[in-house]
Structure 1
Amino acid sequence: MITTEESIIRLCIALVLGAVIGYERQAQNKSAGLRTHTLVCIGSCLCMIVSVNVAMSYYFGYGYHNSDPERIAAQVVSGVGFLGAGTILANQKARNVQGLTTAATIWVVAAVGLVTGAGYLAVAIVATVLIFLVLTVFIRVDTLLTERCRKYYILQVAMKNTVGQSRRMTAFFAEEKINVESFQALSGEEGPLAEFTVRISYIGRLQESDIIGKLLALKGVSKAEIVPEETKESAAGPQ
C-alpha cells in the first residue's frame, strides 16, 4: 500500500511536473495553461494512488485476487480526451485546426501524473524534461523545416478598383492559405483598375501556374502574372 506520506510526496511532485509543462503553455498564451496542466497532473496522480490502494486493500483485507489496480487509472487516459477536445473546439472559428499540441500536452501530462502516482518518479521527471524540450526546442526545428518548405513568389495583378473586389482578393489568399509578405500599388487610387505587385509565400503543393489560374478565374481580375526575377527587388520591400 502507498502510505499517506508517500502519497503526499507523489502529489507534490506531480504538482511541480505539471506546473513545468503548464508554464510553457501559459507563456505561449494557449487556451490550457498553468492551472489546467497542473490540475490534470495532480488529478491523474491521485487517481493512480487511489487505484493502487483500493486494489491492495481489497486483496489483503478481503482476499480478492481479481482486483485490478489499473482499472481506475485506465479511465484517466480516455477521460482526459474531453479536455483535449475542448482546447481544439475553442479554436473552431479559425479556418485551420488549432490546439492539437495543447491537447496532446494535456494527454501526456495525465500520463506523467499516472506514472508519478505509481511511484516511478525518475521516469516521470525524465518524461517531463523530454516534454519540455519538445515544446521549447522542437518548435524552432519545426519553424526551420517549415521555412525550408515555404515558397515565395511576386505577382503582378490588375483588377477592378472596388472595395468588394479587394475583399474577394483577400478571401482568396485566406482560403488558399497564402501569406501576403508585402504589397506595392502601381496605379492611382481613383482609377477604374487597381494594379499592384504583391509578394506572397505559402507551404504546399500549389504551383505558380495554379495560383495564376485561380487568380484569373476570380471575378474582376483582368491580369495576373509572375514578376520577372530582375524586378523582384523593387517589389519586395514593405510598403
Structure 2
Amino acid sequence: MSIGIIFLRLLVSAVLGGFVGIERENKKRAAGLRTHVLVCIGSALVMVLSEYLLHQYQGLTNVDPARLGAQVISGIGFLGAGTIIKQGISVQGLTTAASLWAVACIGLATGSGFYSAAIIAAVIVFVTLRSLGKFENVISSNDNSNVEVCVRIENKPGKLGEVASFIGSMGSNITSVDIEEDGDEYLIVSFILKLPKHTTKTDMIVQLQSLNGVSVL
C-alpha cells in the first residue's frame, strides 16, 4: 500500500469524523469535534494496519484482518460509556455514545477503502443527529404519557408536598418520583407525569415556574 493511499484514507476519515462531530460540538456535548475526528482516524488506521499485516505475513500464518476491527467495535464502548450521564431517572449522552460508535464504523469502512459506504453513512448519521431531534420533540409534545419534569425546590418542610399538590390540581397524575439532595438547601426532584388532554409539557413547566422556590431544570 502506497503512502498516498494511506494518507487519503486517513484524511477522508478525518473529514467524515469531523463532519459528524461538528454537530455534537455545536450542541456542546461531552464528545465533540476532536473526539469524533480522533475516533474515526484511529479506526481507519486499525483497518490500514490490518490490511498491511495481511499482505506482510500472507502465507506465513493465519492472519484475520477482521480481528483488529472487531476490537475497535467492542473497545469503543468504554469511550462511549464516558459520555453517558445519569441524573436521577434521566439519562443523557446516549445519542453521543451512539454517534461515537457510528463514527468508529465509518472509520473502519474508510480505512478499508470502502469510501462510498463511509460517505453515505456519514451523511445519514449527520442528518439523523441534526434533524430527527426536532421530530422527536414534535412527537413528545403530542404524547402526554410518561412526561418527565425535573425541578429544583427549596429543602423546606412541606415544599415537596406543595409542588405535588399543585401538579395534582392541574389534573396530572404523578406516576414516579425520584429525589436527590442538592446541598443542604435544595432538592432535585424528577417527576414522571401523566398529563391530561390538551395540556402539554410546556404548559406544566410554565405553571411550575410560577411557584416560589421552584425552578425547572
Change (3 A) 1:146 1:64: same
Q: Deviations over 1:96-142 (max 9, x none)?
A: 22111111110010000000000011111111000001001111111
Q: Percent of counterpart pairs with the same letter? A: 38
1:69 paired to 2:62:
no
1:100 paired to 2:67:
no
**TM-score, reference length from structure 1:** 0.65
Structure 1 residues 90-169: aligned runs within 5 Å: 91-150=85-144, 163-169=156-162
Do the aligned residues in 2 keep the contact of 1:26 with 1:33 (CA within 8 Å)? yes
Please state whether the residue corresponding to 1:51 is helix, strand or coil. Answer: helix
**TM-score, reference length from structure 2:** 0.71
Change (3 A) 1:39 1:169: farther
Larger Rg: 1
Do the aligned residues in 2 keep the contact of 1:199 with 1:236 (CA within 8 Å)? no
Give me the whole-angstrom Cα distance separating, in 2, the residues matched to 1:20 and 1:42.
13
Give me the whole-angstrom Cα distance separating, in 1, the residues matched to 2:34 and 2:99.
13
Q: Deviations over 1:162-189 (max 9, x none)?
A: 932114455x59xxxxxxxxx8xxxxxx
Change (3 A) 1:165 1:113: same
Do the aligned residues in 2 keep the contact of 1:48 with 1:118 (CA within 8 Å)? yes
Do the aligned residues in 2 keep the contact of 1:55 with 1:69 (CA within 8 Å)? yes
1:103 maps to amino acid: A
1:38 paired to 2:34:
no
Look up the match of 1:192.
none
Q: Deviations over 1:129-162 (max 9, x none)?
A: 00001001111111111111126xxxxxxxxxx9
Give me the whole-angstrom Cα distance separating, in 2, the residues matched to 1:115 and 1:130.
15
Give me the whole-angstrom Cα distance separating, in 2, the residues matched to 1:80 and 1:110.
7
1:28 paired to 2:27:
yes
Change (3 A) 1:139 1:65: same
Give me the whole-angstrom Cα distance separating, in 2, the residues matched to 1:55 and 1:72.
11
Please state whether the residue corresponding to 1:44 is helix, strand or coil. Answer: helix
Moved beyond 6 Å, runs of 4+? none
Structure 1, unpaired ranges of 5+ = 152-161, 174-182, 184-195, 201-207, 215-225, 230-234
Q: Which moved more, 1:68-77 or 1:94-103?
A: 94-103
Look up the match of 2:9.
10
Alpha-carbon offset, residue 93 of structure 1: 3.6
Q: Superposition RMSD on alpha carbons, in Å?
A: 3.2
Q: Deviations over 1:12-39 (max 9, x none)?
A: 1110100111111111111111111110
Alpha-carbon offset, residue 95 of structure 1: 2.9
2:83 maps to amino acid: T
Give me the whole-angstrom Cα distance separating, in 1, the residues matched to 2:83 and 2:57.
38
Structure 2, unpaired ranges of 5+ = 146-154, 178-194, 199-203, 211-217
Change (3 A) 1:51 1:140: same
Please state whether the residue corresponding to 2:56 is helix, strand or coil. Answer: helix
Look up the match of 2:79.
83
